[in-house]
């Protein structure tokens, strides 16, 4: 689920937009929200160093054109994935209140959004994402000026479960360049971009 706009006059791998003036996103219910989202250009290649419960791995992905509000990518094995920046558990077939999520963009320190996520089995979770600040960070891929996005999800139906993630969003290139998080079951994960190649 992701919206690709350009301005003319814009376990899981955490990968995780710049602004266009006066753009609006209308979700499938007809509700409106700002849609000032631009992901990295399709064809951008990223290499990520990951750690899931302390076990390291490496993932190579190619960015695809987004779908609605969801970022999209293809792994080197040919499988595809999608994500919303800073939203643990919003990928796959889960459905979120997209217009509420869209209000997070453009990013501004202190801005936050809250919305429901519904899983394919009908179970619901509450998601809260906050723009906590900005930070210049260094990864093996280089230096990035980032916004810090803190996300938390808590199941409101079904088994008790919660998770949190901190993601560093770089508007250039338009992707999450670092993320770390954990859940109430003791799982941890981390991801960092180690190489970027623009198309």
Summarised one tens digit per residue, pLDDT across range 5-20 is 222 222 333 333 222 2
- In terms of Cα–Cα distance, which of 176, 188, 194 is closest to 138? 194
Report how far residue 86's alpha carbon sits from residue 150's, in angstroms, rounded to the nearest whole number. 6
Q: 178 forms bridges with which residues in the sheet?
A: 168, 192
Radius of gyration (Cα) for the chain, nearest Å? 16
Asked if residue 1 has pLDDT above 70, the reply is no
Q: What's the mean per-residue pLDDT of the chain?
A: 83
Cα–Cα nearest to 2, from 105, 153, 128:
105
CB 151 within 8 A of CB 135: no
Q: Which of 13, 8, 155, 139 is nearest to 71 (CA)?
A: 13
What proportion of the chain, given as a percentage, has pLDDT over 90? 68
What is residue 93's predicted lDDT score, i.e. its pLDDT?
86
Q: How far apart are CA 42 and CA 56, in angstroms?
A: 27
Confidence label for 43 from pLDDT (cuts 50, 70 and 90): very high
- Return the bridge partners of 128, or none: 114, 152
Asked whether residue 22 carries a pLDDT value surpassing 80, the answer given is no
User: What is the rounded distance in angstroms from the CA atom of residue 108 to the CA atom of residue 149?
Assistant: 10
The 10 Å CB-count burial string (b at 16+, else e) for 162-182 is ebbbbbbbbbebbbbbbbbbb
Q: What is the mean pLDDT of residues 49-75?
A: 93
Number of alpha carbons in the 13 Å side-chain half-sphere of residue 188: 7
């Amino acid at each position: 689920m992701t919206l690709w706009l350009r301005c003319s006059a814009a376990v899981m791998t955490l990968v995780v937009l710049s602004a266009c003036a006066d753009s609006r996103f209308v979700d499938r219910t007809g509700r409106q929200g700002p849609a000032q989202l631009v992901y990295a250009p399709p064809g951008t290649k990223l290499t990520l160093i990951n750690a899931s419960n302390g076990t390291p791995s490496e993932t190579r992905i190619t960015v695809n054109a987004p779908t609605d509000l969801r970022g999209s990518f293809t792994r080197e094995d040919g499988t595809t994935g999608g994500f919303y920046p800073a939203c643990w558990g919003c990928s796959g077939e889960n459905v979120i209140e997209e217009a509420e999520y869209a209000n997070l963009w453009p990013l501004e320190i202190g801005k936050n959004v809250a919305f429901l996520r519904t899983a394919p089995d009908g179970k619901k979770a509450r998601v809260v994402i906050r723009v906590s600040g900005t930070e210049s960070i260094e990864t093996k891929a280089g230096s990035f000026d980032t916004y810090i996005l803190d996300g938390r999800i808590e199941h409101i139906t079904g088994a008790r479960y919660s998770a949190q993630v901190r993601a560093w969003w770089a508007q250039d290139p338009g992707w999450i360049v670092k993320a770390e998080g954990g859940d109430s079951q003791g799982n941890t994960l981390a991801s960092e971009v180690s190489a970027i190649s623009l198309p």
